[in-house]
Amino acid sequence: MSQHALRAANAAFYAAFERLDLEAMASLWARSVSVSCVHPGWDLVLGYEAVMQSWKGIFDGTGEIHFRSEDAQVTAGTGMGWVVSREILSTSVQSTPIESTLSTINTFVLEEGVWRIAHHHAAPLLSGKPRSGGRRNDVVLH
């Protein structure tokens, strides 16, 4: 399937997220493979039911959220694809606006001709944009 279809599936994920629509979110996840998710600051969440419970908790605790994606790199294979991007998340906590920059990877599998999410991973960026080639000389992580 095309990169266009994979981009559309990725956009549907963020649309469901922004609407805080658990039913729409649930329909986007794969059922033929074991799914997983890493939310910013969370440990790995494994399995469809646990992943849906994690989204329910996030949606129940969120009043409003918006995303802007930058530098999306889309790779579509025969039965698997992924989208790597930087996302700018805007929300508010107790009426205080918050903007965060995250590095994200959304991995998809083809199920009956439809791209479905198998893994979502979002992690906060420490600061600024990475240098060309993704190397940062000023931050030592390990």
Residue 76 lies inside a defined structural domain of this protein: yes
The model's pTM: 0.85
pLDDT tens sequence across 41-64: 999 999 999 999 999 999 998 888
Structural domain count, the chain: 1
Residue 7 lies inside a defined structural domain of this protein: yes
pLDDT of residue 130: 55
Residue type, 83: V
Alpha-helical regions (H) of 20-117: 22-28, 48-60
CATH code of the domain containing 111: 3.10.450.50
pLDDT confidence of 92, banded at 50, 70, 90?
confident
What range does the domain containing 22 cover? 3-126
Mean pLDDT score across all residues of the chain: 88
Residue 88 lies inside a defined structural domain of this protein: yes
Residue 138 lies inside a defined structural domain of this protein: no
Residue 132 lies inside a defined structural domain of this protein: no
**Cβ(11)–Cβ(28) below 8 Å:** no
CA-CA distance, 89 to 33, in Å (whole number)? Answer: 28
Per DSSP (E only), the strands in the chain are 36-38, 45-46, 65-76, 80-93, 96-111, 114-124
Burial of residue 81, with CB atoms counted within 10 A of its CB: 0-12 exposed, 13-18 middle, 19 or more buried: buried
